[in-house]
Amino acid sequence: MTKPSEIRIPANEINIARRTDASIAVVGNPNSGKSTLFNRLTGLKQRIGNYPGVTVERHIGILKVDDVSVELVDLPGTHSLSAHSLEEHIAVDVIFGRMQGTKKPDGILAVLDATNLYQGLFLVQQLIDLRMPTIIALTMTDAAETSGVGIDIERLRETLGGVPVYPVVATTGAGLDRLRHAIAEMPSLAPPERIVVWPELTEVAGKLARDAKEPLRFAELERLLIDGATDANRLFLEKLSDDAQKNLEAERDSLFGFEPPIARDARIRYAWVREVLAEVQSSVPRFYSWRTHITDFLNRPIPGTIGLFVVMAIVFQAVFAWATPLMDLIDAAAATLGAGVIQVFGEGAVSSLIADGIIAGVGSVVIFLPQILILFLFIILLEDSGYLARAAYLMDRAMHSVGLSGQSIIPMISSFACAVPGIMATRVIPNRRDRIATILAAPFMTCSARLPVYALLIAAFVPAQQIGFMNLQGLVLFGLYLFGIVAGILTALLIRKTALRGPKPPFALMLPEFRRPNLQTVLIQLLGRAKVFLYRAGTVIFAVAIIVWALAYYPRSEMLAPEVEQQKGIAAYTLSGEELAAEYQRIENVAAAAQMEQSWLGRAGHFVEPVFAPLGWDWRVSSAVIAGFPAREVVIAVLGTVYAVGDEADEGTLSGRLKASTWPNGDRVFTLPMVVGLLIFYACCLQCAATLAVIRRETNSWRWPVFAWLYMTTIGYVGALLAFQLGSA
Amino acid sequence: MKINGNTLATLKRGQKGIIQSVDAVDPQVQRLMVLGLVEGAEVEHASSAIGGDPMEFRLFGCGISLRQEHAKFFKVSPVAAGD
């Protein structure tokens, strides 16, 4: 029985008792298994947002143990508290509690990779200097054991100032329960004892902190001495006494002399790490069986490079082949749904809006969900297995010769799914010129929204011949992907030779061991991507579908309806049965096409037709292209509508209509040169408002999105013009 | 201990060496030091990409890749093969 007094505990006391406010920062090296552990601990109870002013994703999850809930913040991976890249700056800012909009963490969950204690301990030692409640999750202990590394956990704990160490295997879940309870108890945990690894610095820090206006933590003094009075450290500087503020530079000079502080920091701490390793680790980790084989094979330059191309070819083949049955299913469902709506509501503006506008428009986009998921599945698998880093390594020399570094390869490969996450992934590139050149090259990569247009035109105009293990259609698709890559690389080269001239970018990259990706992590990421895509389909594309529908539906022609009735009447005299039904259908299709031609969209298409006529496009293609400028995936929906196929707006019929469509003089519109030109136009043109918005956000200026749009549209137009004019000549 | 102008860039594939000194002026070299390429560390040249650049080194079990232009700032004393 519950006593009433227990119910009347004030809410704030419950919070204290249950510590629901506690926030724990999850900190670790990149590739330390940090995100896998975070996903294991929080499951689907996660929020993904952005840090203010930047596009680094903020992952927050809730960990519940019994009636205690704790907030976990998964920070970007970092090697040191001396931040280097934008992501490292964010991690460090959150740890020090100086990140706007994110509260200071109450404790640190340090993720330490048992197979890479060397780099891991370098960071953990700095975390201990923070003197905050800290526990260590020792991940990949299974892999460490297999590769013959024994770790003396008790000794490790002693060397690290008494920090509790919890061995876990995130992939199987072993040890997770104990870790969960430890995290829940963490806010009441005593901070670790300080380990003095750098006595000179400790002494100078003590001197500096004398008479300070506000107390400083040792870690804050460390940042001031090592990184200097940077903007990020201003808050720490202001806590010092006026004298100490003035003397900071002199103290740093006497401490470091001519040696770069970062170099000294690395020398001293890694010397300490080696001492610890000698005590706690029984042997240096070795690569084991299947990893050794894969790594050795891919380590040979030529098989490695060939392997990379084979992997890419398999991905594209899978995207094209595996998705087809699922897409047919969605297609059939949308058609049935649309037909059902017309049946229930009858013909009219409302049912046309629902069936031809919303269902046909959104359906023609949702149909690409299978392809996008398959593509993202591969990208996530390649990333989590450590292969993408190897791709960056293998491609570095090639990228170097065009003025980029291997690090640009990851954003570019991501851009094959969508340029928006691809451009966001450029934040791992520290050099600004390199980053902007990559951002401008990324939209050339064939994104999943270009796929529908390619798929439609290829299915309609390229014969399905088998050539080796691929068919000709797949080969043409592969060619279009290559075209995008070449165009993107040439763009980067051009921009690095002109507007962004400068020294070639540096390159240093950790090459993680190959590892089996964790199913749960892969699924959580995949689900996140699906959500983002469906959200777009439900908002932007939904709105565009309605607008395009209205532009194509209105104004209604007064003349048409009586004329249709009259023709139907004539047909009824001469025909009967199925022939009559077919004739009715034909009359209605002709009427729909006539309606479309005099609608706002049709008029706009006619208006711009002279601009696109040199490319061999008629008003219908022109109006679909115009409608596609906010989001290129809309173009299929619009083509479906303008080609007046009504309820039969599935691709098969649409491609048939495209093949059959003619100019008033009877010549075919979709000739080979025209189709090639259209493909080139789509391969180049930047028809995506979301990409423009993300370029604006990432470069923090309108200059680059405007430039990218003008540049890409011009190339697309000129390319299509050349293809059509030269091909038709 | 013989150094003889050996650097990370001159290590042959499969050969190990211990870093003896680092010329840390280049910020990129400092970054590599933060990743653990400091005096006293034993490294093994694991692989090179096509054309010999960049190079991959194994350092306490983890792979790290860098370009030859940076590798030459790390002087090493090679460890005898078969060790």
- pLDDT tens digit string along A432-451? 788 899 999 999 998 877 88
A507 contacts chain B (CB < 8 A): yes
| 8 A C-beta contact, residue A117 and residue A275 | no
Determine the pLDDT at residue A6.
Answer: 40
Q: Residues A50, A169: one domain?
A: yes
Q: Residues A106, A167: one domain?
A: yes
Task: Quickly state the pLDDT bin for B22 (edges 50, 70, 90).
Answer: very high
Nearest-CA distance B64 → chain A (Å): 4
> What is this model's ipTM?
0.93
Q: How many domains does chain A have?
A: 2
CA dist., res. A437 & res. A423, Å (int): 11
- Using N-to-C axis directions, what is the helix angle for A672-684 and A472-497, rounded to 10°? 50
Residue A364 has pLDDT above 70, yes or no: no
Find the mean pLDDT for residues A194-211. Answer: 90
Task: Quickly state the pLDDT bin for B33 (edges 50, 70, 90).
Answer: very high
Cβ contacts of B41 on chain A, cutoff 8 Å? 270, 274
Asked if A397's CB is within 8 angstroms of B51's CB, the reply is: yes
A242-251 pLDDT per residue, tens? 988 998 999 9
Q: Does residue A93 fall inside a structural domain?
A: yes
Q: Residues A156, A242: one domain?
A: no
B77 contacts chain A (CB < 8 A): no
For chain B, domains (ranges, CATH) are 8-79 (2.30.30.90)
B36 contacts chain A (CB < 8 A): yes
Determine the pLDDT at residue A110.
Answer: 97
Cβ contacts of B31 on chain A, cutoff 8 Å? 84, 262, 506, 508
Q: Residues A25, A91: one domain?
A: yes
Sheet with B62-66: strands ordered across: A508-511, B62-66, B55-59, B42-48, B16-22, B74-79
Dihedrals phi, psi of A624, to nearest 5 degrees: -65, -40
Among B47, B60, B63, beta carbon nearest to A510: B63
Determine the pLDDT at residue A694.
Answer: 78
Q: How far is CA A357 from CA A111, A550, A647, A648, in A?
A: 51, 8, 11, 13
Q: Residues A144, A249: one domain?
A: no
| 8 A C-beta contact, residue A295 and residue A514 | yes
B45 contacts chain A (CB < 8 A): no
Cβ contacts of A263 on chain B, cutoff 8 Å? 22, 24, 29-30, 33
Within its chain, how far is the Cα of A428 from the centroid? 12
Q: Does residue A601 fall inside a structural domain?
A: no
Domain boundary among the residues A218, A247, A280 is at A280
B63 contacts chain A (CB < 8 A): yes
Query: Count of CB contacts below 8 A, A vs B?
Result: 134
Cβ contacts of A260 on chain B, cutoff 8 Å? 24-25, 27, 30
Residues of chain A with pLDDT > 70: what percent? 88
Q: Residues A184, A205: one domain?
A: no
Q: Residues A73, A167: one domain?
A: yes
In 3-state terms, what secondary structure has residue A150? coil
Determine the pLDDT at residue A287.
Answer: 52
Domain boundary among the residues A280, A306, A338 is at A280
CA dist., res. A125 & res. A136, Å (int): 11
A300 contacts chain B (CB < 8 A): yes
A300-344 pLDDT per residue, tens? 778 888 888 888 778 767 766 777 788 778 878 887 888 888 888
Q: Residues A212, A64: one domain?
A: no
| 8 A C-beta contact, residue A447 and residue A416 | yes
Mutate to test the interface with A, among B31, B64, B74 (most CBs of A within 10 A): B31
Which of A498, A508, A500 minimizes the C-alpha distance to A437? A500
In 3-state terms, what secondary structure has residue B58? strand
Asked if B62's CB is within 8 angstroms of A266's CB, the reply is: no
Q: Residues A85, A130: one domain?
A: yes
Structure-token match 């034909």, residue found? A586
Q: Residues A236, A123: one domain?
A: no
A267 contacts chain B (CB < 8 A): yes
Residue A17 has pLDDT above 60, yes or no: no
Q: Does residue A699 fall inside a structural domain?
A: no
Cβ contacts of B36 on chain A, cutoff 8 Å? 118-119, 122, 266, 270
Structure-token match 């990259």, residue found? A509
| 8 A C-beta contact, residue A669 and residue A663 | yes
- Using N-to-C axis directions, what is the helix angle for A540-553 and A600-612, rounded to 10°? 90
The radius of gyration computed from the CA coordinates of chain B, to the nearest angstrom, equals: 11
A274 contacts chain B (CB < 8 A): yes
CATH of the domain at A181: 3.40.50.300
Residues of chain A with pLDDT > 90: what percent? 26
Asked if A393's CB is within 8 angstroms of B65's CB, the reply is: yes
CA dist., res. A428 & res. B60, Å (int): 24
| 8 A C-beta contact, residue A702 and residue A648 | no
Q: Residues A63, A134: one domain?
A: yes
A270 contacts chain B (CB < 8 A): yes
Determine the pLDDT at residue A418.
Answer: 74
Which of A91, A74, A75, A68 minimizes the C-alpha distance to A21? A68
In 3-state terms, what secondary structure has residue A430? coil
B59 contacts chain A (CB < 8 A): yes
Alpha-helical (H) ranges within A447-518 are 450-461, 472-497
Among B30, B36, B65, beta carbon nearest to A122: B36
Cβ contacts of B57 on chain A, cutoff 8 Å? none
Q: How many CB atoms lie within 10 A of CB B7?
A: 19
Domain range for A176 is 18-188
